[in-house]
Amino acid sequence: METLGEVIKKVRSAAGADWLPAIYRDKIRTQRTRSVSIDIAARENEAIIQYTLLGIELKVGKRRFPCPDLATARYMRVFARFGSTEFAIPYDITRVSTAADELETSWHKHTLMLESFVAGRPPRTIARAKTMLMGSVREEIKEIGSGDAMPAFDRKTRQRS
């Protein structure tokens, strides 16, 4: 019987280009981004999107984080689920929804693969494997980094010289 560390490596290799940190590194961090920091626990969290009179909020535990739109809330929810406290978000708001779709799909694929690889094991072992998967993803996101708080505006926008 393989160890949980081997199962996590198996999930990572099976995911290939759909590995969540690979998507984050190759598709999100390569574009103009801004850094986001949320004050949550570095563990599995229940993240809920709430619609209030003041707009959309992401609720993680007892903390609430205001979001400008639903796409941003969905994007932040992916990172809040596995306890990533600092991450980058695309500066171009038209790209946030696509990125959120890719990240959510990737996360669901990871959990389904993990469940298939640890099927038949005790519930406690399955829970530990899920915790290890979340920790692995969280650490890789942390290593990639969140970038600058605001992107560099190094392009000339003035049309006259």
- The pLDDT, as a whole number, for residue 152 is 63
Ramachandran assignment for 123, one of left (phi > 0), alpha (psi -120 to 50 degrees), beta (any other): alpha
Q: Cite the DSSP H helix spans in the chain.
A: 4-15, 20-23, 70-81, 93-117, 123-144
Please state whether beta strands 55-60 and 86-90 pair in parallel, antiparallel, or not at all (unpaired).
Answer: unpaired
CA 159 from centroid of its chain's CA atoms: 38
- The pLDDT, as a whole number, for residue 151 is 63
- The pLDDT, as a whole number, for residue 160 is 63
> Mind listing the pLDDT tens digit of every residue in the chain (161 residues)?
688 889 999 999 999 989 999 999 999 999 889 899 999 998 999 999 999 998 999 999 999 999 999 999 999 999 999 999 999 999 899 999 999 999 999 999 999 999 999 988 999 999 999 999 999 999 999 999 887 766 666 666 666 66
- The pLDDT, as a whole number, for residue 95 is 94
